[in-house]
Amino acid sequence: MAAKTLLRELIRELRLTNNSYKSLWESPAYQFILKNFRRNQVTAEQTCKAQQESQYMADTYLCYLKSSRIAAQLRHEFHGQGERTVRSTADMVGFKLPHDPK
């Protein structure tokens, strides 16, 4: 993944998980990521020896942020609703219950 694309994905995930700060720019995670991307940027005058390492770390952070967000969504959807009826469980997994003839 290109560095710009990776940075955009990281910022997108930070936006989705940013709850405690008024703006994204105030969060320490945003500051840390931007600082590291700027520090490890490759230019014509200098080459970053740890470019692959920094890209690997950025990929790892991105995977962690995505996984944490998805896990929180799943936990919110399926956790703590108490006992379910047979009908609600069948609806949740996509089954249809047979009808009782009268």
- Whether 101 is covered by a domain: the verdict is no
d(CA 52, CA 78): 39
Residue 52 counted as domain residue: yes
d(CA 76, CA 64): 18
**pTM of the entire structure?**
0.63
More confident position, 18 or 95? 95
Q: Domains in the chain: how many in total? A: 1
| Residue 44 belongs to some domain of the structure | yes
Q: Give the range of the structural domain holding residue 53, as residue numbers without chain letter.
A: 8-15+33-78
Model confidence over 21-73: pLDDT tens digits?
677 777 888 888 888 888 777 655 555 556 677 788 888 989 999 999 999 98
∠ at Cα 87 (100, 73), nearest 5°? 165
Between 2-11, 35-44, 91-100, the lowest mean confidence (pLDDT) is in 35-44
